[in-house]
């Protein structure tokens, strides 16, 4: 899943693709590099971000989705809003990637249920401007807590009429989580697989990688985290991750090719 942020303030590439033409061109480049699908987002969810108006989000994503979908791309819309999801699906999106798992706007579940679209539900506790206040996972620890809370969202999703076969789950790396929480979740993906849905993982360029690579107390800059992400991708290749949400598609494809070659040799 190649990331196309049509925003002025996303943490990694905000402002680089914040016009329709630039975003469409970037989406086409990601497809050429080997992306299977494109995730188009018009709202930054970086820590501390404020939300755009609904009209702003619609103006950002709908023209991009329409043009890419008309060109044959499989498109996902990255949104928490029912109005945006509905307009995006009408424009040709076939997947709704909701980082709130239906908590931010429960009406989004009804929109997806009536559309036949695939739904990605991420583990989420609060909007970007407040999520740092919700990193306590006691007493059960982050893995069991995330599994339970995602399970609760899955029940609500199914109750809204979205069959489990149409759902992917995302552990929500970086969202209301300290660096150590992300590593614990990555090491225990089999526990989340127990919920019976495919898993999407989005670790690309996130702050826990910057913290891992810190020098003199200063996290590695966003643009210099990709090598660590590529290493992580290679390690995740045989851990049952069904979809990787990434910025650098070519580097990710290279890592997967290496992992596949090593796996083929090991199986002989």
- Per residue in 184-213, pLDDT tens? 999 999 999 999 999 999 999 999 999 999
What's the pLDDT score for residue 196?
A: 97
Q: Which of 125, 206, 220, 225 is catalytic?
A: 206
Helices (H) and strands (E) in the chain, counts: 10, 8
| Residues in the chain, total | 268
Q: Are 100 and 124 in contact (CB under 8 A)?
A: yes
Kindly report the backbone phi and psi dihedral angles of residue 39, in degrees, each rounded to the nearest multiple of 5, phi listed first.
Answer: -110, 110
The helix or strand, by DSSP H or E, that contains position 129, with its residue range, turns out to be: none
Cα separation, 10 vs 47, whole angstroms:
10
Q: What angle do CA 83, 88, 93 make, to 5 degrees?
A: 145
pTM score = 0.94
List 245, 250, 253, 268, catalytic entry? 245
Other Cβ atoms within 10 Å of 131 Cβ, number = 20
Based on the residue annotation, tell me whether 125 is a catalytic residue of this protein.
no
Of 87, 153, 71, residue with least CA distance to 120: 153
Residue 268 scores a pLDDT above 70: no
The first and second tokens of residue 126, run together, are 């609060």
Cα(168)–Cα(190) distance, integer angstroms:
14
239 has catalytic annotation: no
pLDDT digits 0-9 by tens, 28-82: 999 999 999 999 999 988 777 888 999 999 999 999 999 999 999 999 999 999 9
Q: Which of 202, 131, 118 is nearest to 166 (CA)?
A: 118
Predicted confidence band of residue 240 (pLDDT cuts 50, 70, 90): confident
Q: What is the pLDDT of residues 69-80, one digit of tens each?
A: 999 999 999 999
CA distances from 214 to 138, 170, 211, 225 (A): 27, 26, 5, 10
């Amino acid at each position: 899943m190649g990331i196309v942020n049509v925003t002025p303030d996303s943490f990694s590439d905000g402002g680089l693709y914040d016009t329709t033409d630039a975003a469409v061109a970037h989406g086409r480049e990601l497809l050429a590099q080997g992306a299977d699908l494109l995730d188009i987002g018009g709202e930054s969810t970086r820590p501390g971000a404020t939300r755009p108006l609904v009209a702003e989000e619609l103006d950002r994503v709908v023209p991009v989705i329409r043009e890419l979908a008309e060109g044959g791309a499989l498109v996902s819309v990255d949104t928490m809003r029912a109005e945006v999801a509905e307009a995006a699906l009408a424009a040709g999106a076939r997947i709704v990637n909701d980082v709130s798992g239906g908590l931010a706007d429960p009406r989004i579940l009804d929109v997806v249920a009536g559309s036949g679209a695939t739904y990605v539900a991420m583990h989420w506790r609060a909007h970007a401007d407040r999520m740092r206040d919700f990193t306590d996972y006691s007493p059960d620890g982050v893995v069991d807590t995330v599994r339970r809370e995602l399970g609760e969202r899955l029940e609500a999703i199914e109750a809204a009429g979205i069959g489990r076969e149409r759902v992917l789950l995302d552990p929500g790396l970086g969202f209301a989580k300290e660096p150590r929480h992300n590593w614990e979740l990555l090491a225990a993906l089999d526990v989340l697989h127990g919920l019976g849905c495919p898993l999407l993982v989005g670790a690309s360029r996130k702050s826990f990688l910057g913290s891992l690579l810190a020098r003199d107390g200063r996290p590695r800059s966003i643009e210099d985290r990709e090598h660590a992400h590529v290493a992580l991708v290679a390690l995740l290749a045989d851990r049952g991750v069904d979809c990787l949400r990434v910025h650098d598609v070519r580097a990710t494809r290279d890592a997967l090719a290496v992992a596949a070659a090593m796996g083929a040799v090991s199986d002989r």
